[in-house]
Amino acid sequence: MKRGLAIAAVGLSLTGCSQEMGSQPSYREYEPAPLFRNGRVLQAPVAGTVARGDIERAAQLSERPPLTRELLERGRQEFDVFCSPCHGRAGDGNGIVVQRGMPRPPDLHADRLRSTSDQHIVDVITSGYGAMYSYASRVPPRDRWAIVAYVRALQLSQHASLDDVPADERTRLLGEVPR
């Protein structure tokens, strides 16, 4: 008896699946659709929705990696690819696109940019600023920090004083007078 009931239940559940599930109407993204109350196919995400990986990316944006030679080298590579077309290889704001008529970006050696926080530069790379658009989709968070490290190295290279040189190197430099 129980066996017959189980077979009947399985049989009924299988007949409940009809071909209508396999041939449901599909909608294009921008076409009107009666499926939703607002008549649109594209729906806004529910408030508070966080995309996969966003929490990890946010954590990487707030944590500066340790300064290493590899980080600086990666920053140079990324700067040359993404930043130098506008800011120039030296960061002076005279990149190739500026030479072709695009608006000149700020000189990265300006006092206001040398004194700004590293987080501000990461935020500008992430969100864009003025005519600069966001690089969030192109440059991963760790590479943004690498670019900031390289920008700081560029700034230091143009504005270093003798006091910035370690003492042993300073005496070596001062001891070698050209003839």
- Can you tell me the distance from the alpha carbon of 125 to that of 144, in angstroms, rounded to the nearest whole number? 7
Question: pTM higher than 0.75 for the full model?
Answer: no
Which residues, at least 6 apart from 106, have a Cβ–Cβ distance to it below 8 Å? Answer: 93, 113
Q: Which pLDDT belongs to residue 16? A: 58
Collapsing DSSP states into helix, strand and coil, what is residue 95? Answer: coil
What are the backbone angles phi and psi of residue 129, rounded to the nearest 5°?
A: -165, 130
For the chain, domains (ranges, CATH) are 67-158 (1.10.760.10)
- Can you tell me the distance from the alpha carbon of 115 to that of 108, in angstroms, rounded to the nearest whole number? 10
Along the 179 residues of the chain, how does pLDDT read in single tens digits? Answer: 777 777 777 766 666 555 566 677 777 888 888 878 888 888 888 887 777 767 777 788 888 999 999 999 999 999 999 999 999 999 999 999 999 999 999 999 999 999 999 999 999 999 999 989 999 989 999 999 999 999 999 999 888 888 888 888 888 878 765 55
Determine contact, residues 78/143, Cβ cutoff 8 Å: yes
